Amino acid sequence: MRISIAHSPDSDDAFMFYGLASGKVPSGGFEIEHVLSDIETLNRAAFEGRYEISAVSFHAYAHLASRYVILPHGASMGDRYGPVVVAREPVPASLDGVRVAIPGTLTTAFLALRLYRPDVAYDVMPFDRIQEAVHDGTARAGLLIHEGQLTYKQEGLVKVIDLGEWWADRTGGLPLPLGCNVIRRDLGADVVGRLSRLLHDSIAYALSHREEAIEYARQFGRGLDRESTDRFVGMYVNDLTLSYGARGREAVVRLLTEAADQELIPRVAIEFAP
């Protein structure tokens, strides 16, 4: 059976799927194709059910729950860190009068930004152009995801607000759920269960063979050196990735409930695959 696994071309996702991509974790009789694309494109593709398994934003999941179920592993969560709003020069933390470049309206980064400032003014642009746009003055402020969270200071940009810190303070220390892996419901319980175990084993393999998995992930690091790649991967692939646990699941419920309460997303039942 041919299965497409879609994820972003980033070092943390590459690390997560290293076991399967390298063949170190057997595919269990499935023919697996890895599809790499940026998260906003994957969010849009999931509306069509294009891939059997996909990384999506938790923001997008609120619109996808009828077609996909959340896998019980593979989450990216910011534990007192996360998407960060930066500027070339200090701007009000309230973002009054500030227009922010964002990486997509279905990203959880944007959802968190709207929880922080519901009426924020924004422009959409590809995530990998935002730092440059802020630096050259095209955008007054930008919402950074991925490696930009580590590199913005080197480029002379200043932090306005770290949404992961803000969320932790708001919720008594919960992590900020950003991305998840989802699987199509129409595959049936048996196939969903088998594939779920494969992806769990791939994450577990990378965590227990960190050196070789980091070396593989470096090629997806967009300019990060090995030390920075290791640091970035550690931020988003960790124990919460291997299993949400009670704390991770509570964070997901809190995020999607608050967003629904503010009518930013539809209210959905949150369901995890076995």
Interval 194-214: pLDDT, tens:
999 999 999 999 999 999 999
Q: Kindly report the CA angle at 17 between 15 and 22, in degrees rounded to 5?
A: 95
Identify the pLDDT of residue 95.
Answer: 97
E strand or H helix that includes residue 170 = helix 163-171
Q: How far, rounded to the nearest angstrom, does the alpha carbon of residue 111 sit from its chain's CA centroid?
A: 12
What local confidence, expressed as pLDDT, does residue 155 receive? 86
Counting DSSP H helices and E strands in the chain, the numbers are: 13, 11
154 burial via Cβ count (<10 Å: 0-12, 13-18, 19+): exposed
Residue pointed to by tokens 């309460």 = 261
Going by C-alpha positions, the residue among 178, 163, 176 that lies closest to residue 251 is: 176
- pLDDT tens, position by position, 56-70: 999 999 999 999 999
> Does residue 87 have a pLDDT over 90?
yes
How much is the pTM?
0.94
Active-site pick, 63, 146, 200, 209: 146
The reported pLDDT for the residue numbered 222 is 75
**Interior angle at CA 76, CA 146 and CA 113, nearest 5:** 65
Question: What is the arithmetic mean of pLDDT over 9-35?
Answer: 94
**Residue 242 predicted with pLDDT over 80:** yes
CATH fold, domain 2-77+177-261, is D-Maltodextrin-Binding Protein; domain 2 (3.40.190)
Of the pLDDT bands very low, low, confident and very high (cuts 50, 70, 90), residue 268 is: very high
pLDDT at 225: 86
pLDDT at residue 168, rounded to an integer: 98
CA distance linking residue 253 with residue 270, whole number of Å = 7
Question: What is the share, in percent, of the chain residues with pLDDT greater than 70?
Answer: 100
pLDDT at 94 over 80: yes
The Cα 57–Cα 100 span in angstroms is: 19
Quote the pLDDT of residue 93: 96
Contact 99, 116 (CB under 8 A): no
Q: Tell me: the pLDDT tens digits for 149-196? A: 888 888 899 999 999 999 999 999 999 999 999 999 999 999 999 999
First to last CA, the chain: 20
| pLDDT over 80 (residue 223) | no
The mean of the pLDDT values for the chain is 95
Superfamily for domain range 84-171? Periplasmic binding protein-like II (3.40.190.10)
**Catalytic residue flag (residue 63):** no
Q: In the chain, where does the domain assigned CATH 3.40.190.10 lie? A: 2-77+177-261, 84-171
